[in-house]
């Protein structure tokens, strides 16, 4: 199998093809210890003291341990893990709701933890917006008034804010519900209001804390589709928290898996599914339908020198499931895999596709 960060040109040699991720949020050497004297125990944790030891011997709780990650600008990064893994704690460091015991959270080169109260207030109003699991709507305000809330906080005149709010209400599919109250709406509709409220703020960073987990499965999938469709246009830096791997793989350009406050693995969806780093991650991906996650750019191999490119051309983003359908619906059993620029970058055949669909780790 070829390196997914490489591509084949017409001579069969390999050259870089993947899009470079520009960090939107950089988290460096981040530790969070909860307790009366957390600073006292940072060095002990750095030197190997476990979470259990810290709690048992010193009555302190280790929330995050040596978190280092880059969340790319203009993409959806998913932070996932089981309950107690530290994912929501990590999210709250990004907008300064929690201060780290040690480490940095850098946005546009500025450490959130070192912002003054005024800087932090301005940062929250203009740089970030939040979508909550429990919707967070004000029950005494209508859909329109809830959507206007963040703009009111910014003291934007109603003659400017109302058209903006109505625009986003329509974009999330709630046109005609502007004068309804939250109790008159379904759970999915309430979450659409929460999303419209966040988008109306026009903040470049969108933080979503298990935003869809309280919804019924079908509504949840529908909201995922709404988010993906909006993101194609908006290209915001989105940090999405979930405990659901299927949701993470559907939404994430990059996935960070936490376990007991530490990073178990991080990378693209392809990295996570095709090369789980340890038994913990392997247990997550074991039941994943690889054919709907793995894409052709991850399995493409170079064309042999002197061979012609196959007649059938498929985008590198084609899933194995889609590729198998295309290859079995015709007499062609081999396809050229195209780069994002539409140039041939490698080849696959039906055997490559089926082998990778069935492969276990």
- Confidence category of residue 23, pLDDT binned at 50, 70, 90: low
Say whether both 282 and 301 belong to one domain.
no
Of residues 283, 220, 224, the one with CA closest to residue 81: 283
Say whether both 353 and 213 belong to one domain.
no
What's the CATH number where 339 sits? 3.10.580.10
Say whether both 215 and 276 belong to one domain.
yes
**Which residue range is the domain that position 315 belongs to?**
292-358
Q: Among the three residues 288, 316, 338, which one is the final residue of a domain in this structure?
A: 288
The residue-averaged pLDDT of 348-361 equals 82
Residue 178 resides in a domain: no
Query: Which three-class secondary structure state does DSSP give residue 356?
Result: helix
- pLDDT for 10 equals 40
For 61, list phi and psi in degrees, rounded to 5: -115, 130
Say whether both 121 and 212 belong to one domain.
yes
Residue 76 resides in a domain: yes
Distance CA 167, CA 75 (A): 23
With tokens 């209508």, the residue in question is 142
H/E element holding 312?
Answer: strand 312-315
- Confidence category of residue 248, pLDDT binned at 50, 70, 90: very high
Say whether both 122 and 213 belong to one domain.
yes
Say whether both 210 and 270 belong to one domain.
yes
Report the number of distinct structural domains present in the chain.
Answer: 2
Query: Which three-class secondary structure state does DSSP give residue 165?
Result: helix
> Tens of pLDDT along 81-113?
998 899 999 999 999 999 999 999 999 889 999
pLDDT at residue 3 is higher than 50: no
Say whether both 79 and 109 belong to one domain.
yes
Say whether both 212 and 283 belong to one domain.
yes
**Model confidence, pTM:** 0.84
- pLDDT for 219 equals 87
Say whether both 333 and 268 belong to one domain.
no
> Tens of pLDDT along 40-70?
999 999 999 999 999 999 999 999 999 999 9
pLDDT at residue 6 is higher than 60: no
pLDDT at residue 18 is higher than 70: no
Angle 187-200/158-171 helices, nearest 10 degrees?
Answer: 140
Query: Which three-class secondary structure state does DSSP give residue 244?
Result: coil
Of residues 113, 105, 104, 102, the one with CA closest to residue 44: 102
Distance CA 127, CA 243 (A): 26
């Amino acid at each position: 199998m070829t390196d997914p960060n490489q591509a084949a040109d017409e001579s069969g040699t390999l050259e870089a093809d993947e899009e470079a991720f520009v960090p939107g949020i950089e988290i460096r050497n981040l530790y969070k210890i909860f307790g009366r004297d957390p600073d006292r125990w940072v060095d002990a944790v750095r030197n190997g003291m476990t979470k259990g030891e810290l709690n048992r011997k010193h009555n302190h709780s280790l929330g995050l341990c040596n978190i280092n990650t880059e969340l790319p600008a203009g993409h959806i990064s998913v932070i996932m893990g089981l309950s107690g893994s530290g994912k929501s704690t990590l999210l709250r460091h990004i907008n300064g709701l929690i201060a780290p015991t040690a480490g940095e959270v850098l946005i546009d080169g500025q450490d959130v933890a070192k912002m003054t109260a005024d800087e932090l207030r301005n940062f929250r109003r203009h740089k970030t917006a939040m979508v909550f699991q429990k919707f967070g709507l004000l029950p005494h305000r209508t859909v329109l008034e809830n959507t206007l809330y963040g703009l009111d906080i910014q003291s934007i005149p109603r003659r400017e804010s109302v058209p903006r709010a109505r625009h986003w209400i329509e974009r999330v599919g709630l046109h005609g519900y502007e004068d309804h109250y939250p109790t008159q709406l379904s759970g999915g509709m309430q979450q659409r209001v929460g999303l419209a409220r966040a988008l109306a703020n026009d903040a470049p960073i969108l933080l979503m804390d298990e935003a869809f987990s309280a919804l019924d499965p079908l509504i949840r999938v529908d909201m995922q589709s709404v988010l993906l469709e909006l993101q194609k246009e908006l290209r915001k830096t989105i940090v999405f928290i979930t405990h659901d791997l299927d949701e993470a793989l559907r939404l994430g350009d990059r996935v960070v898996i936490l376990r007991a406050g530490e990073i178990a693995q991080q990378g693209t969806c392809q990295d996570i599914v095709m090369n789980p780093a340890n038994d913990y991650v392997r247990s997550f991906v074991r039941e994943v339908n690889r054919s709907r996650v793995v894409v052709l750019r991850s399995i493409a191999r170079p064309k042999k020198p002197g061979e012609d490119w196959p007649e059938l051309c498929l985008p590198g983003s084609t899933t194995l499931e889609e590729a198998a359908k295309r290859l079995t619906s015709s007499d062609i059993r081999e396809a050229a895999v195209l780069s994002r620029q539409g140039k041939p970058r490698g080849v696959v055949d039906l055997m490559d596709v089926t082998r990778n669909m069935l492969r276990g780790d």
